[in-house]
Copies of this chain bind each other. A is one copy, B any other.
């Protein structure tokens, strides 16, 4: 039985990335930097007015495991596509990156999910997701063997929605714990936190060992007015918490200890999509190799810096080489 560093479960999406200036967002009544779900009709309507795009495999947790592979780690992915062209693209890209992906493509139902990513001239991104078949994750998909083989079972908050999916995710966490592994969660977006605050709080307190959140999400979760209050409220609730603050770096809480790790210098933020996903990958790659907390944080920052320096949420160069050059 080959061991894996991380197996993740999340929405399997293809990103449709287009440039959009502030005037376009205003015309479309879209709040810059916001995230929202849209239905198929809305997706068609938005696509019809968007500029020329490029299609790149995405999905938050899928990006994370792709980055882990790029960091030289081993990873698996659970997520659903349709047997359509975008589904083929998703499956090809994640496997070509070296990730184990064995969830069957659906042969009926909605098409493969896609995320319309509108990238502003300043690199900020605004996302509208048509989930398609992606949320169709049931107990049968939570591959216990894959989870048992993995040091960390990683869940994206975006997937926390349908009752059957939630039960399946908790079942996956139980498998991880019974087989001596750990469970990680990313809060994903304030949108998710505001919708499922109580459930996320319960999940964190009773099931999660490693938590990822950005400052907006953790403030929303704890209903705090500032970041420091949120940190104080969270202390001790998970074994490890990595709380990211974009260019202000990140705060890592581990038991009684806390570490502040600076962000990596980036010449120009081209597209912020996937920054949090890459951070989680770098952090987990460090953690599963037994690195010290601060170094895990640095690895997260290095991975995030690469991903935001170009269009698309997955790395364009091998992250393992970057980490080696930076940390030795």
Chain A residues close to B by CB (< 8 Å): 18-19, 47-48, 50-57, 66, 84-86, 89, 92-94, 96-97, 111, 312, 314, 316
Contact = CB atoms under 8 A, between A and B. Distances in A.
Given A85-B85, A89-B55, A50 B96 contact: yes
A53 B85 contact: no
B55 A55 contact: yes
A85 B16 CA distance: 12
Contact of A312 (B18, B54, B89, B94): B54
B93 A52 contact: yes
Given A85-B84, A85-B111, A86-B85, A54 B55 contact: yes
Chain copies in the assembly?
2
B54 A56 contact: yes
12 contacts: A18-B96, A19-B316, A50-B92, A52-B57, A52-B66, A52-B92, A53-B92, A53-B93, A54-B55, A54-B56, A55-B89, A85-B85
Nearest to A114: B85
A70 to B, nearest CB: 9
Among A18, A19, A85, A316, the one with the most B-chain Cβ atoms within 10 Å of its Cβ is A85
A96 B51 contact: yes
Nearest to A14: B55
A269 to B, nearest CB: 16
A50 B91 CA distance: 12
B52 A314 contact: yes
Among A19, A51, A89, A94, the one with the most B-chain Cβ atoms within 10 Å of its Cβ is A89
A160 to B, nearest CB: 27
Contacts of A52: 57, 66, 92-94, 96-97, 314
A47 B90 CA distance: 12
A121 to B, nearest CB: 10
Kindly list the 3 A-B residue pairs having the minimum CB-CB distance in the complex, ordered from nearest: A55-B55, A52-B93, A85-B85
A86 B51 CA distance: 16
A110 to B, nearest CB: 13
Nearest to A315: B52
A111 B94 CA distance: 23
Contacts of A66: 52
Nearest to A54: B56
